[in-house]
Structure formats: structure tokens, C-alpha cells
Chains A and B, each alone.
Chain A
Amino acid sequence: MIERTLYYQAGFFSPDAYLEATPEIIRRLLEAFDYKDFIPTTVPEIVIGSPQQGLMAVGPFSPKMRINVTTPNQEWTLAFQPDRVSLKKMEVIGGAIGEPEDFQNDAIEMFARLEKAKVFSFSGSRLTYNTRGLLPEMKDEQLTKVNTRILRLPSFYQEHPPCEWATRNVAHFDLKFGPKTECCNVITDINRVQGRSSIDGGEAKLVDRIETRFEINTHQDRQEIRFCHNDISTFLESAIKICNKLSHQSEKVLYG
């Protein structure tokens, strides 16, 4: 069903996951990720309301430099954000994004390496997995047909079919992974999107397709620290199974 997977992403929420670019952090990350051509990069983040003097100053803003570890083609990015560490694999020219299970295996390996690097505590409050894909191209009539199949619209839109639309469904679901059972948000977005895309680095073309986004994350109301890096593998395994199931079920609904 999904013709192009745009990305897979897995995240581990931890209060001390935010890492600034320091020599010690860079040294440890270089040691941990001495494969796949990972390189350290900086990401400026502007904190409003705490002015800083000197070279780092930009008006009233105080830029902080957090660190990312990325492959030069940006296929893989490990980002150390304010409350989470996030691993993303993107579709890139000349790369094969692979199946969700491939991502799962790579993610487990990378999080294990990260744990060994001991750059943060790896004690976390939430886990997340999400993916975004595009369905094959369809004619305008087919796109409209999908819309009428999944949405009941006011008469105006029945007479003038929308050229862009979005749907989101969020359910709470008790996900079992390893010895744990956690209430999770299970999110499905099905949208008609328009944008530009280039094939093989060529001229950008307008595209008009249906995108699907599937996401599973542990519920935001539970913020206590209870996860360690071992939970990532079992969580990803269960979350990916649910997402695959959702993808197949969505296909049946969309294509009738």
C-alpha cells in the first residue's frame, strides 16, 4: 500500500537527554558511532528570555548548541532534544529506507551503542515510534472517492470536493511489550497532501497524494521515570506490529 516511506522515527523521553556540544560528549559519541559514517553536528536552539553576552549573543536571544549525530546524507539522525533522544531514518536519494523491521533492528543497535556511551542516564518517561509514508499516485476522481469513503462532509464540500483534507484518529490502547503493559496513544493520520518532490535529484514536480502517518507513544499523563534502554527493543517490536496492522486495515478502508 505505502509506495514511499518518508521516514521512521523512534524516541526515548528522558529529562537529561538534552546534550550540548562539548568535547567530552563529542568524543564519547564518536567512539560509540564509529560506523555508518556518523558525524557530529550542532543545532542552534534559541532560548527566549535569557539574554547572553559575547559571541553567542543574538539580540535578546541566547542560542544553545545542542548536538546531533548524523550521516552526511542526513539519512540517519540521532537528535538530543530538550526532553528526548530521537532517532530518525529518512528516505534519501540513492538510499534504501527498508522495512519497519529493518529500522527496528538498526534502532536497537544504535540505542545500545548510545547506552554504552553513557552520555545521559537513559532513564525515561515515555517511548514513541512513528512513521510517515505516501500512497501511490491516484487520479483526482480516485482521491475524491477516498475522501467520500472516509469523511462525511457538509453539502458545500460534497458539491465542491476538497483538494486538501486531513483526518486524525487517536485511540488509547494497552500495549504489552516485554513484561510491561502501558496505555498508549495510537494515532493514524490520513491526509491528502500537496507539495514538491524531485526524483533522482531532478527537477521538483508537484505531487498530490495521500499520506499516512502512524504513531504509537506511551500516554502523556504518565511522566514518572520507569523506562530503561532495554524497553526500547520490546516497545518497538510491539509498536511496529500494531502500525503494520493499522496500515493493512487502512488500506482496506481507503481502497474499499
Chain B
Amino acid sequence: MDKKSVIDVPVTLRSDSKLRPAAPQVDPPTASTSELETLSADSAVLADACNIQGDCRDQFLSRFLMLIHENDFEFGYSNAADRYVRESLVLYGTFAREWISELFVQNYCNPFVLGAILRVIAHFEYAQMYPQGMTMAAAGVAHDDISVKECGVRCFENWGHIDGRMLLMRFEFSEAWLNEYRIQVINDLERAVTNATTCPQD
């Protein structure tokens, strides 16, 4: 059989986004269970949200990818890609994080792009990138490529959040130096939390 891709089908929103009412979920009126029903856009604001996904997503993805290829990435040094993501977070909020996550999955076989994405998100606060940042860093640590693994660990180190300890504990690397680095980060995160809980409050 020929190797072929799936036929295009109309979708309401990109990135598998779903719109659903806050009311408790009820089964669709039909017998079918194959798809969750989506709501049609019935207000201007809802349409705006859809447009953010449709119009701005492509623009963000192509610009961010271009900046990734045009810039040098180093931990601790800001570049144009960082600034672009910062601006986009203000403009598009959670959608921007989701687009970064989408780019991450699309480029899962490209360690260069993954490393650059992880370096960018490491420069933000943990909460600013939550939960997509934490999810990408965990996927990075689980990656086969050693440089991507290292970038994932470094994200958790930079964020300094205790969540990172729990996630890093589940991995064991065959590369001794990387494993030592992982353990060091785990210990640092633990110490940071211990210090925070034992220091007197202002």
C-alpha cells in the first residue's frame, strides 16, 4: 500500500482546541461517539478567539521559527526570539504558549529547534510558561538526544520550582556527567524549598 497522509477535514480550531460550554458535559444527541461536538461561533468574542488561533498562529510559528534559525542561543542571554515570545505572551496569552508547544511537537526530531525552544522558555518564570513549559521540559528530558536532555534539565534548574524535582527524579541517564547534573539540580531544588520553608517570613 502507498504511504499516504490523512485526508484534510474541516476543523473549527487549530491545535485540536475545543470549545465547550461550562455546563456539565452531556452526550451528543446522536448515537455516535466518534467526535466531541464543537459549538459554532455565536458571538463576536468567540469569533475573535477563533481568529486568534487561525490568523495569528501561522504568523507566530513562521516568525518564531525564523528567529530560532537566525539567532544564537545561550542560557542567561536574551535574544530576539526571547523578546518576540515575551511580546506574544502579552498579546495572545495562553495561545502563544500553546503555539510554542505545537512547534515543539512538530520538531520533535530536530534537536536544534528543540534546544532553542527550551533555551527560550527557560528564560521565563515557571508560572509564565505553565503548564506547557513544564510539559515541554519533561518531554525534552525524555528525548533521545543528549543536548535536548540537557536543555530540559536546565529549564528545571533555571525555573527553580519544586515541580522540577518530582519530574527529574523519574529519569536516569546513561551519561554519567548528565546524571550527575540531574542529581545536582534535584538537590538544589530540594534545598531551595527547605530554605524557603525554614526562613522566617518578612
Contact = CB atoms under 8 A, between A and B. Distances in A.
Contacts of A130: 32-34
Interface stretch (B2-10, B65-73, B79-87, B190-198): B2-10
Contact of B131 (A21, A49, A72, A128): A21
A21 B32 contact: no
Given A56-B93, A128-B33, A195 B109 contact: no
A65 interface: yes
Contacts of B9: 195
Given A23-B166, A26-B138, A195 B16 contact: no
A253 interface: no
Interface stretch (A34-42, A104-112, A154-162): A34-42
B94 A48 contact: no
B190 to A, nearest CB: 15
Contacts of B4: 4, 91, 93, 197-200
A95 B4 CA distance: 9
Interface residues on A, range: 35 or more
A217 B31 contact: yes
Contacts of A3: 1
Contact of A59 (B7, B39, B48, B163): B48
Contact of A46 (B3, B18, B139, B163): B18
A217 B7 contact: no
Contacts of A39: 105, 108, 139, 142
B22 A50 contact: yes
A43 interface: yes
Contacts of A47: 20-22
Interface of A: 3-4, 6-7, 9, 11, 13, 20-24, 26-27, 30-31, 34, 39-50, 55-61, 63, 65, 67-68, 70, 72, 74, 81-84, 90-95, 126, 128, 130, 132, 134, 170, 185, 187, 193, 195-201, 204, 207, 213, 215, 217, 219-220
Interface of B: 1-9, 15-23, 25, 27, 31-34, 36, 39, 45-46, 48-49, 52, 89, 93-95, 98, 101, 105, 108-109, 127-128, 131-132, 134-135, 138-139, 142, 163-164, 166-167, 170
6 contacts: A7-B6, A26-B138, A47-B20, A126-B33, A134-B7, A207-B7
